[in-house]
Amino acid sequence: MLFINYVDRGALPTAAHLMQGDLHLNYTQMGMLMSAFFWTYTFSQIPVGWLAERYGAHRILAAGLTLWASATILVGFAHTFAMLLVLRLLLGLGESAGFPCAAKILAAIVPAKGLGTANGIVALGYLSGPVVGTIVGGLLMAHFGWRAAFWVFGALSLLWLWPWSRVAGGVRAAVQASADDSPTLWMILKQPSLWGTALGLFSTNYTFYFMLSWLPSYLQTERGFSLITMTKLATLAYAANAVSAFAAGWGIDRFLARGGSANVGYKSVMAVAHVGSVACMLAMAVGSPGLALASVFVYQALCGASSPGVYAMCQILAGPRASGRWVGIQNSLGNFPGIVAPWLTGYIIQSTGHFTNAFVVAAAVSMLGLIGWIWMVPTLKELQWKHPAPPTGAVAPESG
């Protein structure tokens, strides 16, 4: 499902150059369209996390995919900026179901020592989305026009509903069993580690969404690659991201199986990823063409390596009873860069004519991840959710 999620959300960045010429859109308008997705995607995360725990993650996933697949198909019929804006808002609303529901399901089904591999597999799925989306979308657009890519992607997305209906029964039973004695929203909000993971995700997502939204245009306009060459290079870069995510998740679980601590395993990867990302952003900003292109691939590998920890860390901390709402809050705050990064990047390019300053900003934001993931998050272990004691003199309910 998350693979489909990223194929559909990445279709617009791949088509951006063609859409600008066809619909006479400037860079600022394209930046607004890219960020509009996150206006609804970001603010829907918290209610979606609650809905997943209240009505079942399996149902909310199916409803979300139906909505975003329909919006993807309709983009292929859009002829105005206003219509595209509305459809991007609907796409964000539908896709907001993805991560809170996935986190709830994994926390309920997978033991803590397997969360690295499980999240690595999930990350391999959603990070493969841009790989397939870029190469298939690029080829469809080159031969049949940009509209055909949206029609094909949206229609194929709806096919997911059939296999999901076959496994949803088992998912429902596991998720409902983990919902007993859940902590309150206020108990979750009081945890400093929640705000640490949110800040860490904010930093991670700024560089990720900046690259996801503008890498195709950067390769074509700043480095002079053709559409076909851009498609090949971006596809290979996204593939490095996806493979790295799976390898890192598997490696962390092997480290834990040999007696290593989750705290050291996950936080070490996060530290290396963020420091390395700063260097890559600066190299892409001012480096030679060869160094800049190499940095694209190094950054994607580092980004992929950090992906399992983004959700495994919060699943360990929150446990199965609170993971849906925790990830909803974390994603709501951590996805603000989706609103800011595409628009700000478009503004910077429009103002300066180059990507240089946009990469410098991304490098600065990446440094914040060290504060969030390393300093604000305590030792990784499941938090003890303590419910308020009953008033003095109150009779405790009988068990059984």
Q: Could you read off the pLDDT of 6-21 as tens digits, one per residue?
A: 898 888 888 887 888 8
d(CA 357, CA 213): 16
The predicted pLDDT at position 394 comes to: 44
pLDDT at residue 218 tops 80:
no
**Residue type for position 159:** L
- Please report the pLDDT score of residue 395 as a whole number: 45
- Per-residue pLDDT tens for 340-351? 887 788 888 888
Give the closest residue to 151 by CA, choosing from 220, 71, 229, 87: 71
Given a cut of 90, whether residue 50 has pLDDT beyond it is: no
Nearest Cα to 233, choosing from 138, 340, 147?
138
pLDDT value for 400 = 38
Q: How far apart are CA 210 and CA 212, in angstroms?
A: 6
**Region 168-192 average pLDDT:** 73
Collapsing DSSP to helix, strand or coil, 75 comes out as: helix
The residue among 59 and 229 whose pLDDT is bigger is 59
Cα distance between residue 255 and residue 359, in whole Å: 34
How far apart CA 218 and CA 238 sit, in angstroms, is 15
Residue 226 pLDDT grade (very low, low, confident, very high; cuts 50, 70, 90): confident
> What pLDDT, on a 0 to 100 scale, did the predictor assign at position 388?
52
Q: Mean pLDDT score of the chain, rounded to an integer?
A: 85
DSSP 268-318: HHHHHHHHHHHHHHHHHHHS-HHHHHHHHHHHHHHHHHHHHHHHHHHHHHH
The two tokens of residue 207 are 């560089």
Model confidence over 80-122: pLDDT tens digits?
A: 999 999 999 999 999 999 988 888 888 888 887 889 999 999 9
The larger pLDDT score, comparing residue 268 to residue 381, is at: 268
User: Which residues have CB under 8 Å from 320's CB, separation 6+?
Assistant: 104, 107, 108, 178
H helices then E strands: how many in the chain?
A: 19, 0
Confidence at residue 110, expressed as pLDDT on a 0 to 100 scale: 84
Q: C-alpha 113: how far from its chain's center? A: 23
Given this model, what pLDDT does residue 341 score?
A: 82
Pairwise CA distance, residues 297 & 277, whole Å: 11
Mean pLDDT in residue range 359-383? 90
pTM: 0.76
H/E element holding 381? none
* Comparison of pLDDT for 374 and 181, the residue scoring more: 374
Sign of CA dihedral 166, 169, 170, 172: positive
**pLDDT per residue as tens digits for the range 302-321:** 999 999 999 899 888 988 77
Please compute the mean of the pLDDT values over residues 285-311 and round it to a whole number. Answer: 88
State the average pLDDT over residues 239-261. 91
- Mean pLDDT of the region 38-51: 87
Phi, psi angle pair for 97, to nearest 5°: -75, -20
d(CA 191, CA 195): 7
